[in-house]
Structure 1
Amino acid sequence: MAEPVRARRLSDHEGQTLVRLVRRGRHDSVRVRRALMVMASASGTPVRAIAQLVAADEDTVRDVIHAFNERGLAALDPNWAGGRPRRITSGDEDFIVATAATRPEKLGRPFTRWSIRKLAAYLADNPTRVVVIGRERLRQYLREHKISFQRTRTWKESTDPRREAKLDRIEEVTTRFPNRCFAFDQFGPLSIRPHGGSGWAREGRPERRPATYRRDQGVRYFHGCYSLGDDQ
């Protein structure tokens, strides 16, 4: 017949620690219940009575007593499992960030910017890497990687095919005649205002988009260049 399970003799430190936990702790906490099991067993209370005292299974009480005899007070802390494995890997996170920072039209989508709903739908159904993720968790990932919804910035760039030749001429004249004064003027629509879009980008680094100043109907520009100085 096997000997009954019983906690070993407590040291002064172990006894004081267990008493302090039971007196000051909440009796519904795991550590307090385990401390009660050990104290009761060390005083000679059988396993069945301890199980009724703490409303636990007898096998659970035996496991706690065995763990205490082997590891001491460390047995009061439960060794919880790691939980469910991660569904989103580090590679998935990188793909989420890269996709959010890419304009949708570049990925074959017929719109100019992502919403959380559209981004989550694309991630769940794309030819590159399928990532199934909820909207709120997606929003948290973007925030963790410092991706925020920002307005894009624009810049103007000349499309004149003779741009380089004109710049060379201006540089030549200003070099040969350093005292000459030039005045440049342009007259066109008074309400030209580039409208930047918006999209997801890293904080402080919004995407830059070229400003569109092309007007195909009813708009004409007048460019003037005046040379003020002696004729040479």
Structure 2
Amino acid sequence: MFAFDEFGTLGIRPTQGSCWAKQGQAQPSAGDLPSHPGRHLLPRLLRRRRRPAVGRQLAPQGPASSLAALKSIRAARPDGAPIYIILDNLSAHTGAVIRRWAKKNKVELCFTSTYASWANPIEAHFGPLRQFTLANSHHRSHPVQTQALDRYLRWRNTNARHRDILAAQRKERAHIHSEKGIRWGGSSASSNSLIRQGLQI
């Protein structure tokens, strides 16, 4: 079982936030850095019983990139056994070319419902990825940014049960569940808290 999704656009610019970082280094302003075209991070999650492993691919978003990522997932099981991939129903994932390839290569595409991308288990891993590689960063180029991503993923896959990773995942899951409530006609956790306080008053 695999999970797959795109992770925003990785632009080269100073990014605010808190993270592990060296002290005493000044943060440059956006005007200090050259402009670079953004790229999309296409993470994939291998669901194992104890330690799910996260991989990545950097490419422009689109059907060709999605198909290339799915092929790399298929290559993770060279024995040809059937695999299942959880992904949202973005148009780049649902094209006829991808469906034909999946049918030919024993790949079952498990699409989440519309406006229910939170059901994809890889979503909870975006929070730690953002915190440990992008928050408070000022990568000078895409290669430098890619090196930071690779360092984090190697460390994360070796330390999948690290307390900081688990804490970041819990925080991201809480954020996802809050969004889920809003999208399905509910209210966010913060709104519910304010309502409860108002009732108490």
Above 0.5 in TM-score?
A: no
Larger Cα-atom Rg? 1
TM-score range, shorter chain: under 0.3
TM-score by length of structure 1 reads 0.18
Q: Structure 2-normalised TM-score?
A: 0.20
